[in-house]
Amino acid sequence: MIVRRALKNSTVVPGGGAIDMEISKYLRQHARTIAGKSQFFVNSFAKALEVIPRQLCDNAGFDATDVLNKLRQKHASGEGANYGVDINTGGITDSFANFVWEPAVVKINAINAATEASCLILSVDETVKNPKSESAQGEAAAGAMAGRGRGAMRGRGGRGMRRR
């Protein structure tokens, strides 16, 4: 299904985390125009988008902080919209020119799905508790504490070196 959509829609975006860094840059700029708590949320979303290039660096064994700083500088200069992680050299490269592409429809769907999942998790107001299972867990925990002495009640689990 994804391959069929990608072939049907021939639009591509630069890969290697380039599009993620560009969207992150745009959101950070937009956050400066917002006041209040919303600014924090937009900045947090922008930071979350940088996970893709960071993970690419980690998986390739490179220093993610150094590469991300280079990417931020390049994207901030205005001429680095296509620059992403180069896993061959450990630096950054023009992903579009080096044929590192992602289908745009796949990237859009991935960002939408991740955003919807985050919103769903954040919208949970309360959890449903089963009183029977809670009482069983409480009894099991009390049984685990039996015979462990006073050390267990102080959070040490009754193990370790004694205090003098």
29-50 tens-digit pLDDT: 999 999 989 999 999 999 999 9
DSSP-assigned states of every residue in 90-148: TEEEETTTTT-EEEHHHHHHHHHHHHHHHHHHHT-------HHHHHHHHHHHHHHHTTS
Give the tens place of pLDDT for each residue, 55-70.
999 999 999 999 999 9
Helix (H) or strand (E) holding 47: helix 37-49
Q: How confident is the model at residue 2 (pLDDT cuts 50, 70, 90)?
A: low
Sequence spans of domains, the chain: 2-6+14-122
CATH class, 2-6+14-122 region = mainly alpha
Three-state DSSP at 83 gives strand
In Å, how far are 6, 42, 46, 71, 103 from 53, measured between CA atoms? 22, 19, 13, 9, 17
Q: 27: which 2 tokens?
A: 């959101």
Give the tens place of pLDDT for each residue, 69-112.
999 999 999 888 999 999 999 899 999 999 999 889 889 999 99
Give the tens place of pLDDT for each residue, 115-163.
999 888 888 777 777 777 766 666 666 655 555 555 544 555 555 555 5
Instruction: Provide the residue type at 90 as one letter.
Output: G
